[in-house]
Structure 1
Amino acid sequence: MNDTDIATERRTATPAELGFSMPAEFAPHDACWMLWPQRPDNWRYGAKPAQAAFVAVARAIAESETVFVGVNDDQYENARNQLPSHIRVIELSSNDAWMRDVGPTFLTHPDGRLAMVDWEFNAWGGLNGGLYFPWDKDRRIRQKIAEVLGIERFITPLVVEGGAIHVDGEGTLITTEECLLNPNRNPDLAKPEIERLLCAYLGVEKIIWLPRGCFQDETDGHVDNLCCFVAPGEVALTWTDDDSDPQHAISREALGILEAATDARGRRLTVHKLPMPGPLTIAETEASGVDRLSSSRPRQPGDRMAASYVNFYIGNSVVVMPRLDPAHDDEAHAILENLFPGRRVVAVDAREILLGGGNIHCITQQQPRV
């Protein structure tokens, strides 16, 4: 085989065929990537309260691993002065701050190589229900990070956000039909074709489909707000015992599917219930601080937010969870301490992140150790 043949094979082979796969979040990391919030039509009062929350998250994760924060040029000096010196601030333009969804999905190879999947991104629905326009800067983030790290980038036309998938690192992926089968994501692809592409690009062998994500989740039901792997064969699930709350039926439906499922290695899943905070709604003062633009999602007083303790980040030595509701914060903290006995659970005030439409897992992306 000559050099041309090898190059052609490399271009046509999928990551799985080349031996790459996506590790679990609870596997060791080299770093965590974040972005800096600033857009006034999503974050109230010029994003100053949100910036303080992002700094707290970055500080907590930096106890555990290197943290990179990408910043638009006009906010570089502000971010650099707010963030501790050991957190690496780099100029990385974005339309908003959801690194989980606009950033790369990292892959590793048994020979020690790092690579990434560059999904298509359309701002959670494009012109059919998307959350803002334009999203041109967000689409370039993955290419820029690949060049910074000097790693291979596998480009796919499949529209997938990082928050739409969770893997166990042993061949199993969990996602929701509400998101990946939504007509505003991949309207020309049927479920079997989406499964084939997920397996080809992430190196997984089995996909567990949950019907819906959390109630009123503006991402069209991202799984990372509802359910996540905490260990091989174990998942955490957001839960409420209040059968009058719409979330109850969603969580009960998911519980039945998870308890009946087996993973790629044939194991039955153990499901750990995390209490749902709230319900939490946007206050009048919180909504009044947001600019109203036709190209972005409005924030109205009384709107229910898709609050979830499942939206936490698993670092090397810490688990960073959102502090959202005094009635349930301590219970959720205790459950996570039991699930991660080798890590310190750090609770961060995260309502300001929730007001923007997501939470701690949504604003972070782990770079696995190779």
Structure 2
Amino acid sequence: MGYVLGMPLEGAANEQDYQVRFGKNMSYQVEMRAPVLPAEWALQSGIQLTWPHEQTDWAYMLDEVEDCFTRIAREVAQRQQLLIVHPHPEQVKRKLEQANVYLNNVSFVACDTNDTWARDHGAITMLDVNGPSLLDFTFNGWGLKFAADKDNLITRQLVKARALNGAYVNRLGFVLEGGSIESDGVGTLLTTSRCLLSPNRNGQMNRAEIEEYLCSVFHLQRVLWLEHGYLAGDDTDSHIDTLARFCDADTLAYVKCYDTEDEHYEELSQMEAELQSFRNLAGEPYNLLPLPLPDPIVENGERLPATYANFLILNDAVLYPTYAQADKDAEAGKILKEAFPGRDIVGIDCCPLIRQHGSLHCVTMQYPAGVIKR
């Protein structure tokens, strides 16, 4: 059996279904027998959430952030599987029961954790004719900024608990976070130089060596590097999932700053120019969809890295962060509906998440079909 963009061929029942799930450009309907790094829109089994608790940095606002996590859990569980990681999962289960979350789609694993950012400590899944492989990279707290000893063990513990189905692949010799890479599912990886070349991740390797490693491990045709783009208050050194995202193999949504007085204007304008210069695998310019930069959100004198690019693609929906900014929240939702016309577009108030310098995509990790066990 071959795979189209990380999904079994028979999974795309017709052209319309293919376009909804994989993108509009039918020229990319190619059978892939080599391993593939699936795009986020490939058919999913479910989502991982690593739930906050009193021993995390969320302790001072735990009720508020748990309400946000509960809203995410509700939207996911009514559509597909949800895997929740927590040191004491019975506490989370009681909370979700009280909130009337559909628990038939929810599984729990007891596991010690430092924090909640599943995007960066979760397994990165590859697919080939033999099924899924779960790649376990080192997570070192975004370049040794924060403790990550417990989070760095989560994937191994999930595999040991048989919560994830797939061949475990030890890639612990390389530091990599899921939020730092974007795959189009057909051989292109989008990333940022600021993050992947930061000295406290893989400082022993230069750019050429890192690109060669990524192409080898992920069976890529190429890596597209962004040299510009950042958000004030970002702890990740410019994760790509805060700046620019594939919506299909031909389309990129990205953060655009319209205010010439904003500190981000020059950098994001230069990033936009880079995106305009990129070409897809057919040699054509990408369809670029600009997402507005939220108005500044400031706490204790520090601007927080709010972004609408931190959306999560589900099988039949897109969850996107909102920030209590009615006009810009609505504008972002409208643009995402253009990008994903076959999916429901659901806003989630992520004001609590941004207080710890992350957002919706950062706290989730999707797993392709066949990975999360029912």
TM range (shorter): 0.7 to 0.9
Name the aligned partner's letter for residue 247 of structure 1.
Answer: H
Deviation per residue, 1:37-70 (Å, 9 max, x gap): 1256622535221111011011112232111111
SS in 2 for 1:193: helix
Structure 1 residue aligned with 2:343: 343
For 2:211 and 2:281, the matched residues in 1 are separated by 14
Structure 1 residue aligned with 2:216: 200
Structure 1 residue aligned with 2:120: 101
Q: Scaled by the length of structure 2, what TM-score is found?
A: 0.84
SS in 1 for 2:109: strand
The reply to whether residue 115 of structure 1 matches residue 115 of structure 2 is no
From 162, 181, 191, the equivalent of 2:178 is 162
Q: Are the aligned partners of 1:31 and 1:66 in contact in 2 as well (CA < 8 Å)? A: yes
Name the aligned partner's letter for residue 64 of structure 1.
Answer: R
From 28, 42, 48, the equivalent of 1:27 is 42
Q: Are the aligned partners of 2:72 and 2:348 in contact in 1 as well (CA < 8 Å)? A: yes
Instruction: Answer with 27-36 or 80-89: which moved more.
Output: 80-89
Deviation per residue, 1:73-97 (Å, 9 max, x gap): 3xx2221111222322221221111
Structure 2 residue aligned with 1:312: 311
Structure 1 residue aligned with 2:237: 220
Q: Are the aligned partners of 2:55 and 2:114 in contact in 1 as well (CA < 8 Å)? A: no
Name the aligned partner's letter for residue 239 of structure 1.
Answer: K
After superposition, where does 1:141-152 map in structure 2 within 5 Å?
141-147=154-160, 148=162, 149-152=164-167
With over 3 angstroms needed to count, the CA separation of the structure-2 counterparts of 1:172 and 1:159, relative to structure 1, is same
Structure 2 residue aligned with 1:291: none
For 2:358 and 2:68, the matched residues in 1 are separated by 12
Aligned residues: 328
Structure 1 residue aligned with 2:150: 137
With over 3 angstroms needed to count, the CA separation of the structure-2 counterparts of 1:211 and 1:59, relative to structure 1, is same
Structure 2 residue aligned with 1:3: none
Structure 2 residue aligned with 1:330: 330
Q: Please, what is the CA RMSD of the aligned residues?
A: 1.7
For 1:117 and 1:51, the matched residues in 2 are separated by 29
Structure 2 residue aligned with 1:185: 201
For 1:92 and 1:19, the matched residues in 2 are separated by 34
From 60, 65, 90, the equivalent of 1:77 is 90
For 2:46 and 2:74, the matched residues in 1 are separated by 13
* Residue 265 of structure 1: how far off its partner (Å): 4.2
Q: Are the aligned partners of 1:277 and 1:308 in contact in 2 as well (CA < 8 Å)? A: yes
The reply to whether residue 273 of structure 1 matches residue 273 of structure 2 is no
Q: Scaled by the length of structure 1, what TM-score is found?
A: 0.85
Name the aligned partner's letter for residue 139 of structure 1.
Answer: N
With over 3 angstroms needed to count, the CA separation of the structure-2 counterparts of 1:266 and 1:181, relative to structure 1, is same
Deviation per residue, 1:270-311 (Å, 9 max, x gap): 1100001111112xxxxxxxxxxxxxxxxxx12100100010
For 2:245 and 2:180, the matched residues in 1 are separated by 10
For 2:335 and 2:79, the matched residues in 1 are separated by 20
Percent identical: 31
- Listed as ranges, the gaps of 5+ residues in structure 2 are 1-32
